[in-house]
Structure 1
Amino acid sequence: MSRIYSAEELSEYDGIKRQEIYVSVRGKIYDMTPGKDFYGPGAGYHIFAGKECSRALAKMSLSADDCTGELGDLDEKQLKVLDDWQKKFDEKYTFVGRLG
């Protein structure tokens, strides 16, 4: 059974406060630690570490303001981009829990 993480708990898994790096997509949390060259401190996608980043991924945004799960105003193309990211994460990274 998977663990439920609060947003506050998830924020600890940013590669700084804790060594592990977790990212949430549509509430599904992945262990991104093996991808620390991309998601670790100082890396291009570190903005996503310890956060729900569905909106940012869908919009191809690196803005902290887009690191949310708010998807209501996104168009079909953006949701397809998000689907592609999530599929990639499902294939490459370990599922560790859900954002609750």
Structure 2
Amino acid sequence: MSDSKGHVQEPKNFAPKVPVTLDPPKSDPITQDYLAKCDGTHEGYPTYVAIKGKVYDVSNKDAYGPGGQYHVFAGKDASRALAKSSLKAEEAVPQWQDLDDKEKTVLEEWVTFFSKRYNVMGVVQGASNL
């Protein structure tokens, strides 16, 4: 899902290839500190990616773990990077409200993509980018 220029390809097909059974979404508050430890490098912690304040459990996907092509998103709210189809660490931040309409549409597509594949574990405590 990334091209030769280091851009994330926008999701085109939202349905998973293999059916996924998801748990009901949780709304537990998840602190920034805890989220940061959920980057796949801390033993005993899951691997999480947040988008627009919602926290998704991506623990079962190697792509988000250390050395994975999407590890840059792990342990943080990567809304801006996903909206911009970017793999740059400095863009893996929660702020997305100032983006153009096309980028906001891409972000919504990523929310749909993640929502169909990964359990929602909670909401980033104090998130202002919902």
Question: Which of 70, 74, 77 is 2:95 aligned to?
Answer: 70
Distance 1:72 1:2 in 2: 22
Q: Name stretches of at least 5 consecutive residues in structure 1 with no aligned partner.
A: none
The offset of 1:72, in angstroms, is: 2.5
* 1:40-90 superposed Cα distances (whole Å, 9 cap, x missing partner): 110000000000000000001111111111113200110111111110100
Paired residue for 2:82, among 44, 57, 72?
57
Tell which deviates more after alignment, 64-73 or 43-52.
64-73
Q: Report the Cα distance in structure 1 between the residues aligned to 2:32 and 2:90, rounded to whole angstroms.
A: 15
| RMSD between aligned residues | 1.1
Aligned position for 2:111: 86
Scaled by the length of structure 2, the TM-score of the pair is 0.72
2: CA distance between counterparts of 1:73 and 1:98?
Answer: 21
Using the TM superposition, name which of 59-68 and 24-33 deviates more: 59-68
Higher gyration radius (CA): 2
With normalisation by structure 1, the TM-score equals 0.93
Q: Give the number of the structure whose residues are more often strand, by fraction.
A: 1
What residue in structure 1 maps to residue 46 of structure 2?
20
Structure 1 runs (4+) deviating above 4 angstroms are none
Choose from 29, 53, 60 the match for 2:55: 29
Counterpart of 1:39 (choices 64, 70, 88) is 64
**Separation of aligned partners in 1, 2:121 and 2:97:** 26
- Identify unmatched segments of 5+ residues in structure 2: 1-25, 126-130
Equivalenced residue count is 99
Task: Give the whole-Å Cα distance in 2 for the aligned partners of 1:99 and 1:84.
Answer: 20
1:32 aligned partner, one-letter code: V
How far is 1:4 from its partner? 0.7
| Structure 2 Cα separation of the partners of residues 70 and 16 of structure 1 | 24
